[in-house]
Structure 1
Amino acid sequence: MTTKTSWAANYANWLQEQYQVTALDDADEITTPFTNSIGDDIQIFAVAQPDGSLELTDDGNTINDLQMMGINIHNPTRRQVIMGILEQYTVKLRDDELVVHGKVNNFPSMKQRLLQAILRIDDLSQTRRGTVTSIYQQEVASFLRDNDFGGLPNYVLQGGTGNQYKVDYAIGETKVKPLRLMQVINKPGFQRVAAEGATFADIRSNQALHNSDIQFVVIFNDSERKVSQATSNIARQNAIELLPWSDKTELLALR
């Protein structure tokens, strides 16, 4: 039987093969295997800086796509959501561009942060007629707090590659419970869960956590979308538990 480690390695190898790089005059165009809400492949651009550092940008595509769909990003609530996402992943907003800047050898971490920010901001495309994503996230946060889960929000961990990641909520390991790492997702699509799989795989490979039992959980808004079979498969291959927000009994069992 194929082990979880083999599944993770196979997925990581497949993921790496899906990236395409095209050299432009002043940048490298990186086409990722992830798609946005309008079905386009997400692209980022790597721009070498005069001082030898590296800048990654989405070239304004994420914000521009939202505006083309008629979503007012200057709405105070949405703006607050966007700025919160940027702060969480240490991404800057420059003239509607999402930008990260750092050393060339930090490219993997920079790419992961930018992609996570793009995917989360792209989720706002689902809020034109419905509840803003942040309301769902705030509702989950309130539930965890009101029911004394005793964890930490926006918890930072290091992956085996040395990259740092933030998870929405973490509850420490005890004698009878594993370390519980939770991400709160409004739109549980394949691309988003696959991205979390890459994050969790790197965290799992951290030797400092080698002796820890870790439970990875994605709490998703099942009132917005049901989980597809493909999404369930990629979650299972990456040892991610998909937990619907409506199942409060299972949520409470995480304490």
Structure 2
Amino acid sequence: MSQAESLKNSYIDWLKKELIFTDVEDGYISISTPFVDNNYDNIELFAKFVSKSQIEVTDFGETLFNLEDNGLKITKRSKNIYRLFENTLNDFGIEYNSNTEALSITTDVRRFPTAKNRLLQAIMRINDLLYLSKENVNATFNDILSSFLIDNEILFSPNVEIVGKNGISSHFDFSIPLPAGKDRLIKTAARPNDVNQAKVFNFDVRETSNTRDSKYVLLLNDSNNAIRDQMKMNALVGLDDNLAEVIGFEKIQNDPSLLVAS
């Protein structure tokens, strides 16, 4: 077995072991994921059948509770942060209960894997609001990148969902058309060393690359911090160099053509 294959198998085994389903009270199933929140605790979701064919997945309000515990209260009084919060809900199709502060999504059983992934990625994006508020940022990294693409006359589509080999839908922040009918699928990370985003990127590339003739990029906001080698390793483990790459926004700013080169 090659070293690359060994790393690939190790990564997949880790993902399977760390995704733990447990029956809990009131008919709920606890789903402990390998992704961590701002307190470095594993993000936990809860699923429950609301009918024979429908299932609800929720965080029971833990995401916003943890943000408030870290000093960030999501409220309409903070217009900018609340706008970014609502944008994330809309991007991922997430429901928000203002009374319980729960984030949830209800879907049919066949689409459960996709719904779980969408809620999980929305939670990780919302957790980034703590970082944005501390940095006094008025726009998300995706807002900045959108403006950059428009200014440089680069065609793109935002918020693209790709159905993978197992029927699971993966979310990419941008799709940029390339020659010969290909496209460049971009996932972004506002924090250049966010290990969660590295893991998600690796999973999504594996899930969709057999059904999509694309090039994949994890684009990191390295304006204030350098990208660590460990970040690249987590994102690219087991992936071909010609298929996926990790790149910093500073490099793209110096040479926008990198996003459209085939």
- TM-score w.r.t. length of structure 1: 0.88
Match of 1:179 among 162, 176, 183: 183
Structure 1 outlier segments of 4+, above 4 Å: 3-10
The 3-state SS of whatever aligns with 2:227 is coil
1:191 partner letter: N
Instruction: Give the structure 1 partner of residue 25 of structure 2.
Output: 25
Which residues in structure 2 correspond to 1:108-187 (within 5 Å)? 108-132=113-137, 134-175=139-180, 178-187=182-191
Task: Tell me, yes or no, if the aligned pair for 2:152 and 2:256 is still in contact at 8 Å.
Answer: no
Shift of 1:125: 1.4
Percent of aligned pairs with the same residue?
Answer: 24
Instruction: Give the structure 2 partner of residue 13 of structure 1.
Output: 13
Task: Tell me, yes or no, if the aligned pair for 1:124 and 1:133 is still in contact at 8 Å.
Answer: no
Shift of 1:183: 1.7
Instruction: Give the structure 1 partner of residue 221 of structure 2.
Output: 221
Task: Tell me, yes or no, if the aligned pair for 2:227 and 2:248 is still in contact at 8 Å.
Answer: no
Q: Determine the C-alpha separation between the residues in 2 that align with 1:50 and 1:158.
A: 25
Shift of 1:12: 3.1
1:193 partner letter: A
Q: Determine the C-alpha separation between the residues in 2 that align with 1:135 and 1:23.
A: 37
The one-character-per-residue Cα deviations of 1:82-122 (angstroms, maximum 9, x if unpaired) are 11111111111123111011122222111111110011001
Q: Determine the C-alpha separation between the residues in 2 that align with 1:133 and 1:161.
A: 38
Task: Tell me, yes or no, if the aligned pair for 2:173 and 2:187 is still in contact at 8 Å.
Answer: yes
Q: Determine the C-alpha separation between the residues in 2 that align with 1:191 and 1:154.
A: 19
The 3-state SS of whatever aligns with 1:134 is coil
Instruction: Give the root-mean-square deviation of aligned CA atoms.
Output: 2.3
The one-character-per-residue Cα deviations of 1:42-74 (angstroms, maximum 9, x if unpaired) are 000111214442111111111111111111311
The 3-state SS of whatever aligns with 1:84 is helix
The 3-state SS of whatever aligns with 1:100 is strand
- TM-score w.r.t. length of structure 2: 0.86
1:196 partner letter: F
Task: Tell me, yes or no, if the aligned pair for 2:56 and 2:104 is still in contact at 8 Å.
Answer: yes
Task: Tell me, yes or no, if the aligned pair for 1:78 and 1:132 is still in contact at 8 Å.
Answer: no
Q: Determine the C-alpha separation between the residues in 1 that align with 2:106 and 2:158.
A: 25
Instruction: Give the structure 1 partner of residue 203 of structure 2.
Output: 198
Of 131-140 and 112-121, deviating more is 131-140
Distance 1:58-1:225 versus aligned 2 partners, 3 A rule = farther
The 3-state SS of whatever aligns with 1:128 is helix
Shift of 1:166: 3.1
Of 105-114 and 49-58, deviating more is 49-58
2:170 partner letter: Y
Distance 1:8-1:171 versus aligned 2 partners, 3 A rule = farther
Instruction: Give the structure 2 partner of residue 71 of structure 1.
Output: 72
Task: Tell me, yes or no, if the aligned pair for 1:187 and 1:224 is still in contact at 8 Å.
Answer: no
Q: Determine the C-alpha separation between the residues in 1 that align with 2:9 and 2:254.
A: 33
Match of 1:246 among 231, 245, 250: 250
Q: Determine the C-alpha separation between the residues in 2 that align with 1:126 and 1:227.
A: 17
1:231 partner letter: M
Task: Tell me, yes or no, if the aligned pair for 1:133 and 1:186 is still in contact at 8 Å.
Answer: no
1:174 partner letter: P
